[in-house]
Chains A and B, each alone.
Chain A
Amino acid sequence: QKEVEQNSGPLSVPEGAIASLNCTYSDRGSQSFFWYRQYSGKSPELIMFIYSNGDKEDGRFTAQLNKASQYVSLLIRDSQPSDSATYLCAVIGQAGTALIFGKGTTLSVSS
């Protein structure tokens, strides 16, 4: 069974700090990796996607992918209280088209 694992948290960081969110996946053939942010009662919104090993940066966000270790991470620099939300890691497997979500990590940024 294909699985995506995340630490549920909560992860608490002070404003201005770096928040580090981690995710592992079981399907070694997975090709596409996504990070979504979800506020309570809302649907997910895409933050970043990454396909290749290494780092991908977009503003304050950096996604890191290591396919050999089946590991994806998201770094949020200069964390803001508005970043407080649940962050969902999602993967599209080798043969699939649907997103498989992890349970999410709750991030709390205190001012």
Chain B
Amino acid sequence: GAVVSQHPSRVICKSGTSVKIECRSLDFQATTMFWYRQFPKQSLMLMATSNEGSKATYEQGVEKDKFLINHASLTLSTLTVTSAHPEDSSFYICSARDAPTGGYNEQFFGPGTRLTVL
């Protein structure tokens, strides 16, 4: 099956620093990648959708200048949390999708990145 990796799996940083999270599709070309955030006991909330070579589309309430998304290739998308603060501490999960066939829209999820901002 399709595999999506994320790096790092866990990161602890000081308030005010920036953190970059990578999401890679290992055995398929991801035309679209999605970034989700999940707070404890909450569901996954979509942050943004990115298509290779295009600017990301951010969901309402998500600051695009704070959460920088780059989808430079068909196998790599990065999320940079700029000037991180404790309230940004969360579980960040990416998912990737190749071109849908026959209406099938399965997304493949990465293992997630646990960000803790001190």
Chain A: residues with CB nearer than 8 A to chain B? 31-32, 34, 41-46, 49, 51, 88, 92, 97-104
Complexed CA–CA distance, A49 and B42 (Å): 22
Q: Are A32 and B93 in contact (CB under 8 A)?
A: no
Q: Are A102 and B46 in contact (CB under 8 A)?
A: no
Residue of B nearest to A45 (CB): B109
Chain B: residues with CB nearer than 8 A to chain A? 32, 34, 36, 42-46, 49, 91, 93, 95, 97, 103-107, 109-112, 114
**Interfacial chain B residues near A45, Cβ < 8 Å:** 109
Task: Give the secondary structure class of A's interface.
Answer: loop
User: In whole Å, how far is B101's beta carbon from the nearest beta carbon of chain A?
Assistant: 13
Checking A32, A101, A102, A103 against B103 with a beta-carbon cut-off of 8 angstroms, the contacting residue is A32
Q: Are B110 and A99 in contact (CB under 8 A)?
A: no
Beyond A46-B106, A88-B43, list 8 extra A-B contacts (CB 8 Å): A32-B103, A42-B112, A43-B109, A43-B110, A44-B93, A92-B105, A98-B49, A99-B95
Residue of B nearest to A34 (CB): B106
29 contacts between A and B (CB under 8 A): A31-B103, A32-B103, A41-B91, A41-B114, A42-B111, A42-B112, A43-B93, A43-B109, A43-B112, A44-B44, A44-B93, A44-B109, A49-B104, A88-B43, A97-B32, A97-B97, A97-B105, A98-B34, A99-B34, A99-B44, A100-B46, A101-B36, A101-B43, A101-B44, A101-B45, A101-B46, A102-B43, A103-B42, A103-B43
**Interfacial chain B residues near A104, Cβ < 8 Å:** 43
User: In whole Å, how far is B23's beta carbon from the nearest beta carbon of chain A?
Assistant: 11
**Interfacial chain A residues near B97, Cβ < 8 Å:** 97
Complexed CA–CA distance, A45 and B93 (Å): 12
Complexed CA–CA distance, A46 and B91 (Å): 18
User: In whole Å, how far is B55's beta carbon from the nearest beta carbon of chain A?
Assistant: 16
